[in-house]
Amino acid sequence: MRIIPAIDIIGGKCVRLTKGDYSTQKTYSENPVEMAKTFEDAGIQYLHVVDLDGAKAKQIINWKTLELLASQTGLNIDFGGGIKSETDVLTAFKCGAKQITVGSIAVQNPALMLEWLNQYGAEKIILGADCKDRMIATGGWLESSSLDVLSFVQEYESKGVKYSIVTDIDKDGMLSGPAFDLYEEIISETGIHLIASGGITTIEDLTRLKNIGCEGAIIGKALYEGTINLKELSELC
């Protein structure tokens, strides 16, 4: 299972939100590159980067930060937040992202999502499936839909998607454990490579997610608040 620390960016700084609420912003580092290097020094190979400014603005904003993270570390970066156009896709890959996460467009413009999937390949495009009460949310979690998360993932898997980041918004940033039941359901009903995100709090959570069959696990606030430490993650890696 891939261990994937998260760096969320607002104004070029490393921040965390609670349940996606921008009013809960807490800054953990003025320098995301230094933060990423501490992950890399611990033996971690992957990084999840979210442009929160971009998610709200509906276009990539913090591309310079992505470029610095990619050029000054050897981490394999998946990038999301504000990817709404071909220009945004090209910018993300040009600035060093190995994979991009597409959520809102997958809801609002499925034809464009499938065009990107065919153009760049299933190894490059991750389906972002962020949900609240099982319903998919978009636009930096500011907009809701009537799409059930399982049906959403199943539909895109049938069209060639291999990877999906599934986040239960109510779990995100709460340090109360991830949505194990939801992940078990999705893994049992699909063949998707599921990347768990939201609520991961302890090493035991990671072990359980691995046993469930998750392909990856994204860790955010637990690292910054110290409920999981880098030494523990280093040993897992």
Q: What integer pLDDT is reported at residue 139 of this predicted model? A: 66
Show the domains of the chain with their CATH numbers: 2-236 (3.20.20.70)
Q: What integer pLDDT is reported at residue 1 of this predicted model? A: 94
Tokens of 149: 């998360």
Whether the pLDDT of residue 20 is over 90: the answer is no
> Any idea which residues carry the catalytic annotation?
8, 130
Whole-angstrom distance, CA of residue 104 vs CA of residue 137: 8
Q: What integer pLDDT is reported at residue 84 of this predicted model? A: 95
- Measured in degrees and rounded to the nearest 5, phi and psi for residue 232 equal -60, -45
| pLDDT tens, residue by residue, 188-208 | 999 999 999 999 999 999 999
What is the rounded average pLDDT of the residues 160-172? 94
Q: What integer pLDDT is reported at residue 50 of this predicted model? A: 96
Q: Given pLDDT bands bounded at 50, 70 and 90, which one contains residue 141?
A: low
Percent of the chain at pLDDT exceeding 70: 98
Whole-number mean pLDDT of the chain? 94
Stretch among 65-79, 167-181, 210-224 having the lowest mean pLDDT: 167-181
| pLDDT tens, residue by residue, 26-57 | 999 999 999 999 999 999 999 999 999 999 99
Q: Measuring CA to CA, which residue among 32, 25, 29, 101 is closest to residue 66? A: 32
| pLDDT tens, residue by residue, 61-107 | 999 999 999 999 999 999 999 999 999 999 999 999 999 999 999 99
Whether the pLDDT of residue 156 is over 70: the answer is yes
Burial of 29 (C-beta count, 10 Å sphere; 0-12/13-18/19+):
middle
